[in-house]
Structure 1
Amino acid sequence: MFKRTAITVILALLMVGDPLFAADFRICEDCHFERLEADRGRYYQHQAFVTNDCASCHVRAPETSTLDRPAAAPPPAQQQRISWMTDSVLPGTSHYFLLAAEGLRETLVVSLRDHLGQMHREDIPLPPLEQLAAAPDDGRTPHLTNVRVVEVKRGVFLSVAIAWQTDVLATAEVRYGTAELNRRNDSVGRLGFEHQLILNQLEPNKTYRYQVISRDLSGREAVSEVLTFSTAREIARRQDNSPAIGAFSAPAVMVDLRRRGDDYLLEVHLDQPRVVSIGSKGGPIERPREADNAMNRNRNRPHAGLSDEGWSSMESCRQCHEKNVAASHPVNVLPPSGMIIPPEYPTLADGRMTCASCHAIHGSDQEYMTRQRSKRELCVGCHLDML
């Protein structure tokens, strides 16, 4: 038994090349915690992500061949790399985000998407934090109302949507479980008065207990009583009775920035309901915070032993999806002359498209983990001639 275990460990170390990553992928959360937490709240999740099998995509198998790299071309100015931090998940006319000042670049990117997938983007210069007025504190603890289940949905995964309101600007968190409240989901970077969170990876025909928690900007906390929901039958989400939207028109956007401690409080107000995503670009990227952990002890080579971005976002997909990749959109290619790839479709640094340009790698709110709600919306993001 000892001999077999030793051989397994040695093989793992040889594959990874760095015992830190071979031993534990949890150190990834030192720098990527917010992004990983957001992905854990998506409706659809990659199976390897659900099972924490990080190595299946981020460690290159020794016998796997690499893709030939075409002649690199610098990406056009419109494709300046954007670091996406958080999004509203649901459409609305008012959105609130708390953004840590550390790591932000000189320009905030506010990307808006309507129910048809039409996109609009605003770039906002980010002023120094000390120049902003402080966000006021009204001194009230949040009051929770109308805590309810708004949807039980059986798709690729069984999911439940929990909603409630608060009378002050606050965060959202749900703790839940079949016996103990030992699981949680929260609104990473998002605040509001109207709250809704999606619970994933649920078991069918079970009764779950849950509790909602909201905290205001000063940390005052409101906790609901423990309630229950059942996954034995579906509950359809109530449809919005608002009139259908005709030709797309860019919404009027009002943005307000204030200071809250060491964070930026960003408010986005619109005249039309939209899903809002927040990113930043330009200027030097801040170095990760100093901490006594394995990542920082090796910060001159923080991803040693891991496969490069090209392999993990293309070639690794072939391990499970060979048939789909062969019959799908070309990858490892540069866009044709004159085509602009939207920032919502990530490419490699030299502009090459990958599987991850169209599909989220960890989780998505769209079926097949696409970056848009339908195949047509996905295609017209780049192929405007299809409109």
Structure 2
Amino acid sequence: MAEIDLWQSFAVALAIGLLVGAERERSKPGGSAGVRTFALIALTGALAVVVEPVVAAALVASVSLLVVAGYWWSRPRDPGLTSEAAAVATLGLGALAVGQAALAAGLAVAMTVLLVSRDALHRFVRETVTDRERTDALKFFVAAFIVLPLLPQGSFGPYGVWVPQRIWLLVVLIIAIGWVGYAATRMLGARRGLLVTGFAGGFVSGTATTGVLASQVRHGAAPLRGALAGALLASVATLVQLVAVTGVAEPRVAIRLVPAAVAGGAVLGVEAWLLGRRSDPSEGDVAPGGRPFALVPALVLAGVISLVLPAAIWLQDRYGEGGAVAATATAALADVHGASVALASLVHEGEVSLSAALLAIGAGLATNTLGKVVVAGVAGGLRFAGLLLLLFTPAVIVVTAGLALG
């Protein structure tokens, strides 16, 4: 390592020690370690990387003994181990600064934020999170980080479109949408939380998000107008993502989609704003109901999507370019983005004309919108579905006009 780089690494280590030490000195003014001690610990970690292994071991052992001694000295007044754990972490971050300074600095900031947020974190864990939510969180982690990696990645079934790991990933994402909505509703209140849920969930699956919001209304976990506004914003996210993903496959398709997407998104956004503005203030007090971990609805939606995909491919195989519209419309019931990217890729390869692709994508948007209404009816009842269809109608008209004029 060049000398200038070494100096920079030690400077970063010193900054890390000062940052963490300043926080500890303010939080524990009578503690055994303050800003100077933590700065020295970080420098010791950096020094241990560049000296001989025997010397490095002696340095680390010395710091460890000092940490233990400091704990025994302060234990009668403060039996916690946070400062001692922070000291050990600072030693490691100082060592990491030699060679990976940016990573070490980022981790130091994250650790300091964690230390500063002590009261808020304790209050959240002890008073805000319920036993049921902790149990459901563990179930979600099992589904996402244990079951998902173990599933095979190979394809099977008609046309080889079923990939177990991808299907389960969809299940995990749908469950995550419910989690986002549940958490946002608890933190922001029903109205604002549902808007965040709708827009964020729309980038994962607008149909699934609509179904989740409709289900919450049926079970009394969300106000009607707030859920409708969230469903509209999910469709705004669908339009934004549609332009983005088709632009990657074929920019000409994305450019032609921009006017329709902007017009449709504007209409949906205004409707969502009006719904939020006119909501009854008491709706903000609606508490989230149901369980955050909703496995059965996620499995049902993933199953429907898995059945639709081979049907779409069969239509395209049977009728060629003439079946592109029907294939895209069918596949869009499950995922309008995937179907549209497939069409844009065919345009890029010269197998489908631009006009035919735009017609197919338009049909896909129409069936995707219809699919959202159907899912909303199944999950939330006819009233929710009827109101959603009424709100979708102006957007459908302007999107159709935008595609025709674009």
Q: TM over 0.5, yes or no?
A: no
> TM-score normalized by structure 2?
0.21
> Please, what TM-score do these two structures have when normalized by structure 1?
0.22
Q: Which has the higher helix share?
A: 2
Whose relative contact order is higher, 1 or 2, with alpha carbons under 8 Å and at least 6 apart?
1
> Greater strand percent: which structure?
1
Which structure has the bigger radius of gyration?
2
